[in-house]
């Protein structure tokens, strides 16, 4: 329902982003509207009180930018954590010492000697 009501193919944002930034919080469907899969917590909560101060007065493009900034920040945090974990684990998940030891065990099982 929300898609047919507010989606504008000529405006910025995907239909889910456009529906996600809907600022008509007194609409009966607002809490049930479809959201982008990676919606920030302040949208995903579906609680009007969790929207950032001044969000309701943003124009469409500014609201889309705000949504995307939060998504980009989330992606950057995930990337930093993945790199940190890779370094902490000594690169084992990318062929480090554990992979070498497994290769040796596999060879021993096949009767190969290193």
Evaluate whether residue 85 is within a structural domain. yes
Of the candidates 78, 72, 60, 61, the one whose C-alpha atom is nearest the C-alpha of residue 23 is: 60
Structural domain total, the chain: 1
Evaluate whether residue 66 is within a structural domain. yes
Q: Which residue has the tokens 């609409």?
A: 27
Evaluate whether residue 35 is within a structural domain. yes
Q: Which residues span the domain enclosing 69?
A: 2-109
Evaluate whether residue 70 is within a structural domain. yes
Evaluate whether residue 71 is within a structural domain. yes
What are the tens digits of pLDDT across the range 52-91? 999 999 999 999 999 888 776 665 555 555 566 666 666 5
Evaluate whether residue 54 is within a structural domain. yes
Confidence (pLDDT) at 1: 76
- Total-model pTM: 0.60
Token pair, residue 28, equals: 């009966």
Evaluate whether residue 68 is within a structural domain. yes
Of the candidates 42, 58, 44, the one whose C-alpha atom is nearest the C-alpha of residue 16 is: 44
Evaluate whether residue 41 is within a structural domain. yes
What are the tens digits of pLDDT across the range 4-60? 888 999 999 999 999 999 999 999 999 999 999 888 999 999 999 999 999 999 999
Q: Where do the H-state alpha helices sit in the chain? A: 2-6, 15-20, 41-44, 60-88, 97-109
């Amino acid at each position: 329902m929300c898609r047919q009501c507010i989606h504008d193919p000529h405006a910025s944002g995907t239909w889910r982003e456009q529906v996600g930034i809907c600022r008509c919080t007194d609409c009966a469907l607002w809490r049930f509207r479809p959201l982008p899969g990676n919606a920030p917590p302040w949208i995903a909560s579906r609680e009007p009180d969790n929207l950032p101060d001044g969000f309701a007065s943003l124009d469409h493009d500014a609201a889309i930018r705000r949504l995307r900034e939060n998504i980009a920040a989330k992606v950057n945090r995930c990337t930093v954590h993945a790199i940190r974990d890779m370094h902490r684990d000594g690169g084992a998940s990318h062929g480090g010492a554990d992979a070498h030891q497994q290769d040796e065990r596999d060879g021993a099982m096949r009767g190969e000697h290193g």
